[in-house]
Structure 1
Amino acid sequence: MPHFDSAGVDIAYFDAGAGNPVLLIHGFASTKEINWVGPSWTKTLLDAGYRVIGFDHRGHGVSQKLYDPALYHTRHMAEDARRLIAHLGIERADVIGYSMGARVGAQMALLFPDAVRSLIMGGLGIHLVDGVGLPQSIAEALEAPSLNDVVDPMGRMFRSFAESNKADLAALAACIRGSRQVLTREEVARIFQPVLVAVGTRDQVAGDARALVDLLPDGTLLDIPNRDHNPAVGDKVFKEGALAFLKRRP
């Protein structure tokens, strides 16, 4: 598996296929394989003729683990994404991010507009602006002595998920404490690229998707029927909607 140096942080990635590049940015406590390979996103995009690039966030998967929350500011993670496509000789890419990855993608579109051709934000609605999505109590769950010591249902879910992936719990706790930035409404209004906002209709984490679309200059809503936050990732409606969006964007 290839790695590259992102201003001193070792980042693991994959790069497959040819055609227009699509950069995949995974969510909190996940990895490039869990978020994108397992649910067949990579196959779907490769079969459609795209070049597909994914990476493990700092602190996740087989990328370098960091333990200072300040190093997980979403700006730093957006810089990792930008440096990766530059490392690969790509000037701009379509970007698909899920949950925390969508937050990073929005930062990337704002900070490096020439690098983002279009943006698909999955699992993130108005909480990009007026909330931070996952509660900070998840960090406490990750730092608890054991899963049996975690009472909060969402904390138990993420602790169990992280343990099953053999993740570094301390690094993830630092990440959730450090990556809680929101954008202002004025900043969202400066994201000029075509944006698809795809959220499950049962998602209790993302916030209202329509409210975010209404703030975007070129936003499109995609409801993922009867899906909660995590199951929406691999939903057929999400994939088909994303392919249709990529096909019609300029």
Structure 2
Amino acid sequence: MKTEQFRSFDGTKLALHRVGEGRPLVLLHGLFSSAQMNWIKWGHADRIAEQGYEVLMLDFRVHGESEAPHGAEHYPAGVLVKDVIALVEHLRLTDYDLAGFSLGARTSIHGVATGKLKPERLILGGMGVDGLSEWEKRAAFFIRVIEEFDAIPKGDPAYFSMQFLKSQKVDRVAARLLLDTMEDLPLSQLANITCPTLVVCGDEDRDNGSAQELAEMLPDATYVEVPGTHMTSVTKPDLGRAMAQWLGPAER
């Protein structure tokens, strides 16, 4: 495993974790998580790398080992898509695959549907149709977590999320700015995602609506269920196995 930094479009330093050699696969993590928490800790990155891939894991701004600037100028609409574009340009990738979980899947969908990202294949984990069109509702939940934070009592639905943000040492000022940069996607634009796509989701995961419905709306998608909820599915080996099986051995 190697970790390096590069500067995104606005000069913000972002962390990039790399493992393996071969065909490039860009992996994007979930909201207020990190490459370490989603892909490295549970062995998914290594499992995929064993099949002949160089797994390229970005820490989004405000996440993991990347910077979390406080200036509003660092948070234009669609900033996370811009960060992925900056990564692709930094590495000069022209033939690559792209995968994301939750926020990483949402970001991937936005990038590919608008033609800003052009992977050969796409993997969308933990994402359903509602996750593309109800961002304001989801953001309101996390805004409350950020603004009330230590005042949230045990037993409150937001308590677990508060504890998770605390464990990940999330900069709350930067996180609040980031939440306002997400845009909803017109579902009609899903038709633009013509590359082969795997939609993979936990069998108890309802956080972003129906993942099966999302797969049915994509032109060339395969739907696979793995065990777990939105939070636990990423901790089980089944997720990495499903991704690796669908990708298959990389061509040498």
- Shift in Å, 1:4: 0.9
1:86-107 deviations in whole A, cap 9, x for unaligned? 2112213211101111000111
Does 2:184 match 1:190?
no
Contact 1:24 1:97 in 2 (8 A): yes
Match of 2:57 among 27, 34, 54: 54
Contact 1:41 1:234 in 2 (8 A): no
Does 2:119 match 1:121?
no
Contact 2:100 2:123 in 1 (8 A): yes
SS in 2 for 1:11: strand
Residue in 1 that maps onto 2:216: 214
Contact 1:141 1:150 in 2 (8 A): no
Equivalent AA in structure 2 for residue 218 of structure 1: D
Equivalent AA in structure 2 for residue 189 of structure 1: A
Contact 1:31 1:61 in 2 (8 A): yes
- Shift in Å, 1:77: 1.0
Residue in 1 that maps onto 2:145: 141
Contact 1:94 1:117 in 2 (8 A): yes
Within 2, Cα distance between the matches of 1:248 and 1:16?
Answer: 16
Aligned ranges 1:101-112 → 2 under 5 Å: 101-112=104-115
CA 1:150–1:142 in 2, change beyond 3 Å: closer, same or farther? farther
Equivalent AA in structure 2 for residue 38 of structure 1: K
230-239 or 207-216, which deviates more: 230-239
Residue in 2 that maps onto 1:203: 205
Within 2, Cα distance between the matches of 1:153 and 1:173?
Answer: 20
TM norm structure 2: 0.88
CA 1:83–1:92 in 2, change beyond 3 Å: closer, same or farther? farther
SS in 2 for 1:51: strand
- Shift in Å, 1:56: 0.9
CA 1:92–1:156 in 2, change beyond 3 Å: closer, same or farther? farther
SS in 1 for 2:121: strand
Aligned ranges 1:1-250 → 2 under 5 Å: 1-8=3-10, 9-67=12-70, 68=72, 71=75, 73=77, 75-112=78-115, 115-132=118-135, 134-144=138-148, 146-150=149-153, 153-179=156-182, 181-225=183-227, 227-247=228-248
How many residue pairs end up in the alignment? 246
Contact 2:112 2:192 in 1 (8 A): no
SS in 1 for 2:61: coil
Equivalent AA in structure 1 for residue 220 of structure 2: D
Within 1, Cα distance between the matches of 2:144 and 2:131?
Answer: 23
Unmatched segments (≥5 aa) in structure 2: none
1:187-219 deviations in whole A, cap 9, x for unaligned? 001111111111112113121112111110001
Within 2, Cα distance between the matches of 1:161 and 1:204?
Answer: 19
TM norm structure 1: 0.89
Equivalent AA in structure 1 for residue 50 of structure 2: D
Contact 2:17 2:58 in 1 (8 A): yes
Contact 1:71 1:178 in 2 (8 A): yes
Unmatched segments (≥5 aa) in structure 1: none
- Shift in Å, 1:248: 8.5
- Shift in Å, 1:17: 1.9
SS in 1 for 2:69: coil
CA 1:130–1:111 in 2, change beyond 3 Å: closer, same or farther? closer
Equivalent AA in structure 2 for residue 103 of structure 1: R
Identical columns (%): 24
Within 2, Cα distance between the matches of 1:41 and 1:104?
Answer: 20
- Shift in Å, 1:151: 6.6
CA 1:177–1:96 in 2, change beyond 3 Å: closer, same or farther? same
1:157-193 deviations in whole A, cap 9, x for unaligned? 12101111222122222223332x2221210011111
1:140-171 deviations in whole A, cap 9, x for unaligned? 21222x42435774421121011112221222
Contact 1:128 1:183 in 2 (8 A): no
